[in-house]
Chains A and B, each alone.
Chain A
Amino acid sequence: MSSAPLADPIPDIIQVRGLRKVYHTGDVDVEALRGVDLNVKRGEFVAVVGPSGSGKSTLFHILGGLAAPTSGEIFIDGIDLRKMSESERTQMRQRKVGFVFQKYNLLPTLTARDNIGLAQSIAGITTQPIGFDNVLKMLGITARLDHKPRALSGGEQQRVAIARALVNQPAILLADEPTGNLDTANSNAVLDLLRDLNKRLGQTILMITHNPEAAAFADRIVYMRDGKILEKGES
């Protein structure tokens, strides 16, 4: 695993250059990413906005180590993803990135507390990080930790999922349509929480969304279409 970042005076936590991803389906090659360049600074809250098929989910999966890139350069917190084996990407998912999904993706058999604990267990961490109780308070789920997902509302489940994503203190929080299954009130609550986590804890967040209103909560919006970044602008 290399730790040599690209030459850049500012220490970006995510650095992507010329990222391509080609899926082979039968005899057909589908180019999902066609040379993506993206930099995200430590502590930044970035929204990636684009229609279906724009490649934003593919970018999410590659940044999260769930898929390997076809070509291009990617550094996450100084680590070169291109040179990572499957096993190394698995290790990266344990501590470097935290995922928040549209469908919450909590294990239905475990309580909220155990869902959070499982992420620690998989990463081989035995103690809760200092100050994590405050994160739980901030998320408003302290009193709901001993409930299973079926006893929680959608908003509560998503907040538990955020807690799970943060418990191993990841370098970046990747959120894929985190409000896609929530009503407006819960969506705004979750987005407020993400922004609070970013501002108060300095958590780097990269959020994928097709919803411009959700994207407006971010510091910066990146637009994608046809596997490319179209433009970058301050929100």
Chain B
Amino acid sequence: MINKLVLENLKYRWVRTLGSAMIVGILVASLITLIGLSRGMLEESASRARGIGADIVLRRDTGATNGLQTGQINEKFLKLVRAQPHVAQAVGVLGQTVEIITVLNGVNIPEFEKFTGGFHYVEGGPLSGPDDILVDEPYARQKNLHIGDTINLVNHNWRLAGVIEPGMLARFVVRLDTLQGLTENTNRLNQIYVKLDDPKLTDTMVNQFNKTFTGDLKAMSLPDFLAMFSINSIGPLKIFIKVITVMWVAVGFLVVFLSMYTAVVERTREIGILKALGAKPMTIVDLLMREAILLSLVGWIIGIGLALVAKQMIVAIAPASLNVINVPDFWPWAALIALTGAVFGAIYPGVKAARHDAIEALSYE
């Protein structure tokens, strides 16, 4: 019967219920979209790294996790790596961040194509001039770019030479020497990708590289490198998401608090009736708590719906710039966050209601 009363109370004041649930829903949708966007962008980067087909990745031994810093390795290490046993091929890459975590990569095209088997061109062809650029198909589609168009990145005008299939190295690819010059990173690289003559030796060679180049280079297998493309591996992003989560719990708390507080004031007489019927203070608190929990669960469901709609809109508007993925594994966490806000938001109004004097409450107009 208490559950029925909870449901009927929410239905009876459906405008406030819907309004409060919508606000909770928008908060939940924002959080789910943020997580989906973060993971989507990172997974996309990981996918591109995977597409290179390397066995081992070498970077400057700085402890940095996202590998996007430029000019960290002297190009001389590329020759030293190539001289190591079981190294079939090695190729160096210089990256320059241009949009959020999207990177403009400079490579030695002949070496890189030999390493990877070459780009798959949807339109146009390989880089020919020093200012030529390759972009992937989603970006070209989003920006409606065609061969010969000019693209300005890192304050430089590039001529679009080719549109490539996505999933290898980067969204933008230019000549290594041009990018080194533009970013004042002459003879410098960010990463060296290594292909072994026997992939089964990967772990052995990772250890060997780390012994040989200790203090200069840090080697890791490709799976270990890809595992770093997660929110938990990127400290600032993890902190940002935590801060946002705390803020949204606080906003959710305030929404439920105001909704429940108003409900308690509006329903003073009803609380008096319940007390006259013998309802214990805990029953009153329980009643309001259940209302708040139901409200937040409705908001959670609305939030999931809004997040799915937001994802479709983002994919439609910016397929290349923003890669959002569905994160159903995060939905229970979003529910927990919404519930936390709701439970804390209902405590004070619940206690206030439970402390109402029955006689005063019954005379409330």
Q: Select B4's contact among A66, A92, A114, beta carbons within 8 Å.
A: A114
Q: Determine if A94 and B278 form an interchain contact, defined as CB atoms under 8 angstroms apart.
A: yes
Q: Determine if A93 and B276 form an interchain contact, defined as CB atoms under 8 angstroms apart.
A: yes
Q: Which residue of B lies closest to A108 (CB)?
A: B12
B201 CB-CB contact with A under 8 Å: no
Mark B183-218 against chain A: 1 for CB-CB distance below 8 A, else 0.
Answer: 000000000000000000000000000000000000
Q: Select B362's contact among A105, A107, A109, A122, beta carbons within 8 Å.
A: A105
B2 CB-CB contact with A under 8 Å: yes
Chain B residues with CB under 8 Å of A118's CB are 1, 5, 277
Q: Determine if A109 and B9 form an interchain contact, defined as CB atoms under 8 angstroms apart.
A: yes
Q: Determine if A122 and B12 form an interchain contact, defined as CB atoms under 8 angstroms apart.
A: no
Chain B residues with CB under 8 Å of A119's CB are 277-278
Q: Which residues of chain B from 1 to 53 have a CB within 8 Å of any chain A CB? A: 1-2, 4-5, 8-9, 11-12
Per the bound structure, the CA–CA distance linking A31 and B274 in Å amounts to: 28
Q: Determine if A122 and B279 form an interchain contact, defined as CB atoms under 8 angstroms apart.
A: yes
| Known contacts A109-B8, A110-B8; A122/B278 CB under 8 A | yes
Q: Determine if B1 and A114 form an interchain contact, defined as CB atoms under 8 angstroms apart.
A: yes
A227 CB-CB contact with B under 8 Å: no
B258 CB-CB contact with A under 8 Å: no
Q: Determine if B276 and A66 form an interchain contact, defined as CB atoms under 8 angstroms apart.
A: yes
A150 to chain B, nearest CB (A): 10
Q: Determine if B280 and A87 form an interchain contact, defined as CB atoms under 8 angstroms apart.
A: yes
A55 CB-CB contact with B under 8 Å: no
Q: Determine if A121 and B2 form an interchain contact, defined as CB atoms under 8 angstroms apart.
A: yes
Q: Determine if B278 and A91 form an interchain contact, defined as CB atoms under 8 angstroms apart.
A: yes
Q: Determine if B11 and A90 form an interchain contact, defined as CB atoms under 8 angstroms apart.
A: no
Q: Determine if B278 and A90 form an interchain contact, defined as CB atoms under 8 angstroms apart.
A: yes
| Known contacts A101-B362, A122-B274; A110/B280 CB under 8 A | no
Q: Which residue of A lies closest to B8 (CB)?
A: A109
Q: Determine if A107 and B5 form an interchain contact, defined as CB atoms under 8 angstroms apart.
A: yes
Q: Determine if B270 and A107 form an interchain contact, defined as CB atoms under 8 angstroms apart.
A: yes
Q: Select B276's contact among A105, A114, A117, A123, beta carbons within 8 Å.
A: A105
| Known contacts A107-B5, A109-B11, A109-B12; A66/B359 CB under 8 A | yes
Q: Which residue of A lies closest to B269 (CB)?
A: A105
Chain B residues with CB under 8 Å of A99's CB are 276-277
B273 CB-CB contact with A under 8 Å: yes
Q: Determine if A109 and B283 form an interchain contact, defined as CB atoms under 8 angstroms apart.
A: no
Mark A154-168 against chain B: 1 for CB-CB distance below 8 A, else 0.
Answer: 000000000010000
A89 to chain B, nearest CB (A): 9
A178 CB-CB contact with B under 8 Å: no
B149 to chain A, nearest CB (A): 63
Chain A residues with CB under 8 Å of B104's CB are none
A67 CB-CB contact with B under 8 Å: yes
Chain A residues with CB under 8 Å of B270's CB are 107-108
Q: Which residues of chain A from 67 to 102 have a CB within 8 Å of any chain B CB? A: 67, 87, 90-95, 99, 101
B358 CB-CB contact with A under 8 Å: yes
Q: Which residue of A lies closest to B270 (CB)?
A: A107
A64 CB-CB contact with B under 8 Å: yes
Q: Determine if A90 and B12 form an interchain contact, defined as CB atoms under 8 angstroms apart.
A: no
Per the bound structure, the CA–CA distance linking A94 and B283 in Å amounts to: 13
Q: Determine if A64 and B276 form an interchain contact, defined as CB atoms under 8 angstroms apart.
A: yes
Q: Which residue of A lies closest to B272 (CB)?
A: A105
A147 to chain B, nearest CB (A): 14
Chain B residues with CB under 8 Å of A117's CB are 1
Chain B residues with CB under 8 Å of A87's CB are 280
Mark B322-360 against chain A: 1 for CB-CB distance below 8 A, else 0.
Answer: 000000000000000000000000000000000000110
Chain A residues with CB under 8 Å of B4's CB are 110, 114
A220 CB-CB contact with B under 8 Å: no
Chain A residues with CB under 8 Å of B1's CB are 114, 117-118, 120-121
B95 to chain A, nearest CB (A): 61
A61 CB-CB contact with B under 8 Å: yes
Mark B57-99 against chain A: 1 for CB-CB distance below 8 A, else 0.
Answer: 0000000000000000000000000000000000000000000
Per the bound structure, the CA–CA distance linking A208 and B314 in Å amounts to: 68
Q: Determine if A105 and B280 form an interchain contact, defined as CB atoms under 8 angstroms apart.
A: no
Q: Which residue of B lies closest to A121 (CB)?
A: B1
Chain B residues with CB under 8 Å of A121's CB are 1-2
B292 to chain A, nearest CB (A): 16
A166 to chain B, nearest CB (A): 13
A55 to chain B, nearest CB (A): 14
Further contacts, 4 of them, CB under 8 A, given A87-B280, A107-B270: A107-B273, A114-B5, A114-B8, A119-B278
26 of the cross-chain contacts (CB-CB < 8 Å) are: A66-B275, A66-B362, A67-B359, A87-B280, A90-B280, A91-B278, A92-B278, A94-B278, A99-B277, A101-B276, A105-B273, A105-B276, A105-B362, A107-B273, A109-B5, A109-B9, A110-B5, A110-B8, A114-B4, A114-B8, A117-B1, A119-B278, A121-B2, A122-B283, A123-B277, A123-B278
